[in-house]
């Protein structure tokens, strides 16, 4: 093991019991743990943010089941690489030896023909495919391949997971444990990690190396001096101030596969939400220059149009959907103009998250109250038996009344007069508020 090997790689667990996080998948009696321990691992795709253990889990499975492991990156590999791996796998089909694992990182970046090339070998069991993606596979992975794979969702690591990873590195890494490192404060390093183990280790390594450089030391000679009086004087104390200082001195350029992927898209979204078109276009330019996936940017704007603009300007959703369709047809470099137009339109639109809040409130109520009965008068009554049971009885057909409206109860009795949608203060929703008050009068008091 070399000190030049990244800390994240040095600390990569080799067995499942060393793996931290994803308890819902690999904890005691969890579904993926049971599958791994059974030895009968089907092809599957892991969907989750960077640095949560997707590659590590694939390697652990291959290691624990003594399978050949062929890793490919969809960014750098093509059909030729896939076919070569399939041929290697075919040559290993003897003496009941378990089939090899083909691990494809960023599988969503494979185009249709590249994904098609996997179908036959997955179907025939020549190899077990394990894919990893940061994007929703239902958008990016072809249906025939999805139907042959299980989908497992991985979550960002929580605070307890990150603290355990941090302590493990300080106590078990060959080089870090030779140093006298004390964590006085951990809020900054946890915040910069963003639930990403790789980020956590990179920040830790950055700060430690910076401290050693100031002392004119490196880890290699610290190992030689371990236990000496000189070594004891090289104590490193991690504080929030120190972490922030060192990280800000070493801010990396945007990298679509690197640590700032989610930071930049976050800045882009928050700039639009904050109605700053100049900042929005700047962060858009950072993504364009970094080679970000055009569909990823467009898809995030579609979500934002519904979540942050909503009924304050319903045309925003239509425009962003048109943007998404257009960039899929046009491609680079012209798509940057379409994205710019959409981003500026969204940033300069009035904002409302009322629809977003309404569905959150409604879901919260459903979780609290369970499956409340549908009132009889608004139930469907396609059969005579249902009609005899008063399904649909006394239902008032709105179009039979003046203004196509009639007061009636549409919520379960337990939720009568419950408010989920609260129009916000913008011209469009003020009109909605006035209309609802005119129709419902005292029933809905906004």
CATH number of the domain that residue 433 is part of: 1.10.3710.10
Domain endpoint, select from 128, 153, 178: 153
- The answer on pLDDT for 231 being more than 60 is no
Q: How many domains does the chain have?
A: 4
Boundary of a domain, candidates 124, 153, 182: 153
Q: Is the peptide bond before 442 cis (omega within 30 degrees of 0)?
A: no
pLDDT at 254: 41
Instruction: Give per-residue pLDDT as tens, 185-226.
Output: 888 898 888 888 988 998 998 888 888 887 776 666 666 655
| Pair 207, 238: CB distance under 8 Å | yes
Whether residue 310 is contained in a domain is answered as yes
Domain shared by 76 and 173, yes or no: no
Rounded to the nearest angstrom, the gap between the alpha carbon of residue 184 and the centroid of all alpha carbons in its chain is 31
Q: What is the dihedral of CA 265, 266, 268, 274, to 10 degrees?
A: 160
Examine residue 145 and state whether it is found in any structural domain, yes or no.
yes
Per-residue pLDDT, 432: 82
Most confident of 11-20, 227-236, 243-252, 404-413: 11-20
219 Cβ neighbours under 8 A, 6+ residues apart:
3, 175, 178, 179, 209, 212
Per-residue pLDDT band for 229 (boundaries 50, 70, 90) equals very low
Domain assignment present for residue 13? The answer is: no
Residues 142, 35, single domain; the answer is yes
Tell me, what's the pLDDT at 324?
Answer: 93
Same domain, 378 and 424: yes
Domain that holds residue 278: 261-347
Query: pLDDT digit string (tens) for 33-88?
Result: 998 888 889 999 999 888 899 999 999 999 888 888 999 888 777 788 888 888 88
**Model pTM score:** 0.59
Residue 435 has pLDDT above 90, yes or no: no
If one counts every other C-beta atom within 10 angstroms of the C-beta of residue 173, the result is 20
> Which of 28-32, 228-232, 254-258 is most confident?
28-32
Specify whether 200 is located in the same domain as 76: no
**pLDDT tens digits, residue range 347-387?**
999 899 989 888 888 888 888 887 788 888 777 777 777 77
Over residues 119-143, mean pLDDT: 87
pLDDT tens digits for 147-161? 889 899 998 898 999
pLDDT of residue 22: 92
């Amino acid at each position: 093991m070399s000190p030049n090997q990244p800390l994240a790689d040095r600390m990569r667990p080799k067995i499942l019991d060393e793996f931290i996080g994803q308890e819902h998948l690999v904890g005691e009696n969890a579904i993926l743990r049971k599958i791994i321990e059974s030895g009968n691992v089907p092809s599957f795709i892991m969907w989750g943010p960077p640095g949560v253990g997707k590659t590590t889990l694939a390697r652990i499975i291959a290691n624990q089941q003594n399978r050949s492991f062929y890793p490919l990156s969809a960014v750098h590999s093509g059909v030729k690489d896939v076919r070569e791996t399939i041929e290697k796998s075919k040559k290993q089909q003897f003496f009941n030896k378990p089939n090899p694992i083909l691990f494809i990182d960023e599988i969503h970046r494979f185009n249709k023909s590249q994904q098609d090339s996997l179908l036959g070998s997955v179907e025939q069991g020549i190899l077990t495919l394990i894919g990893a993606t940061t994007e929703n596979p239902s958008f990016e992975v072809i249906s025939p391949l999805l139907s042959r794979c299980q989908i497992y969702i991985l979550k960002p690591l929580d605070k307890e997971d990150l603290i355990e990873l941090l302590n493990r590195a300080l106590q078990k890494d060959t080089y870090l444990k030779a140093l006298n490192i004390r964590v006085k404060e951990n809020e900054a390093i946890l915040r910069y990690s963003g639930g990403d183990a790789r980020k956590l280790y990179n920040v830790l390594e950055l700060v430690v190396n910076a401290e050693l450089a100031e002392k004119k030391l490196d880890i290699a000679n610290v190992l030689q001096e371990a236990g000496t009086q000189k070594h004891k004087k090289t104590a490193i104390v991690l504080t929030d101030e120190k972490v922030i200082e060192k990280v800000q001195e070493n801010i990396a350029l945007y990298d679509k596969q690197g640590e700032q992927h989610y930071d930049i898209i976050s800045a882009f979204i928050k700039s639009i939400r904050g109605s700053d078109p100049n900042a929005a276009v700047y962060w858009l330019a950072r993504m364009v220059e970094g080679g970000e996936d055009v569909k990823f940017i467009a898809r995030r704007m579609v979500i934002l149009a519904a979540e942050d603009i909503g009924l304050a300007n319903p045309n925003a959703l239509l425009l962003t959907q048109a943007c998404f369709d257009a960039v899929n047809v046009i491609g680079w470099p012209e798509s940057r103009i379409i994205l710019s137009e959409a981003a500026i339109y969204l940033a300069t639109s009035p904002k409302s998250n009322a629809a977003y809040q309404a569905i959150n409130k409604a879901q919260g109520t459903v979780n609290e109250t369970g499956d409340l009965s549908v009132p009889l008068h608004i139930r469907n009554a396609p059969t005579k038996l249902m009609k005899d049971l008063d399904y649909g009885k006394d239902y008032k057909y709105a179009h039979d009344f003046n203004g196509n409206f009639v007061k009636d109860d549409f919520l379960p009795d337990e939720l009568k007069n419950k408010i989920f949608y609260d129009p916000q203060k913008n011209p469009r929703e003020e009109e909605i508020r006035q209309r609802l008050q005119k129709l419902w009068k005292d029933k809905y008091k906004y």
